[in-house]
Amino acid sequence: MTRFDFTPYRRSFVGFDRVFDALENATAHVSDNYPPFNIERIDANAYRITIAVAGFKADEIDITAQQNQLLVKGSKAQSAEQDRSRFVHLGIATRNFERRFDLADFVRVTGANIADGLLTIELLREIPEALKPQKIAIGTAAPETPVIDVQPEASEASEDKAAA
């Protein structure tokens, strides 16, 4: 596998280190595609990851969201491994798995459910108000300039009258 060198781009794009790291890591990982999954866009800010976890129970799956990464692990109990001897054909894969998903900034997990052999994980992107685009109103009135009410000649004349 050929790796792409992002060094020239790192010099030109300040603050994009995480993007380049993700691109380099994506080319480095070779995945076995187990278990299969779908990523679905529900609307502009909502996503759903669906993972085929046939043969796994809810307590055999661990979902961890930390910073910008989602980790889904599945591990079968030892007793299930011992029961393999009674099967004539075992076509449903129930091997342990670990699946990682890199999440964009401000994406959080809102829930997870398992039904009919499918694990669904709901994601929501919530951009903080301070980072959302803001409409700036343009005023048409001229800015007010402060008026200075002190007149130097009038104050000198009043001092002369007070002295006399």
Task: Tell me, yes or no, if the pTM score tops 0.75.
Answer: no
- Write down the pLDDT at residue 16: 72
Q: Which residues of the chain have a pLDDT value below 50?
A: none
- Report pLDDT for 156: 56
With beta carbons less than 8 A apart as the criterion, state whether 119 and 61 touch: yes
Q: In what order do the strands lie in the sheet with 61-66?
A: 61-66, 69-74, 97-102
Q: Which fold has domain 33-128?
A: Immunoglobulin-like (2.60.40)
Distance from first CA to last CA of the chain, Å, rounded?
A: 102
Confirm if 68 and 105 have CB atoms less than 8 A apart: yes
**H-helix or E-strand spanning residue 43:** strand 37-43
pLDDT value of position 120:
98
Domain boundaries, the chain: 1-30, 33-128
Return the pLDDT at 134: 85
The three-class DSSP label of residue 162 is: helix
DSSP state of 139: P
The per-residue pLDDT for 19 is 75
Question: 77: which 2 tokens?
Answer: 């109990």
pLDDT of residue 118: 96
pLDDT attached to residue 105 = 87
Q: What is the pLDDT of residues 36-75, one digit of tens each?
A: 999 999 999 999 999 999 989 999 999 999 988 999 999 9
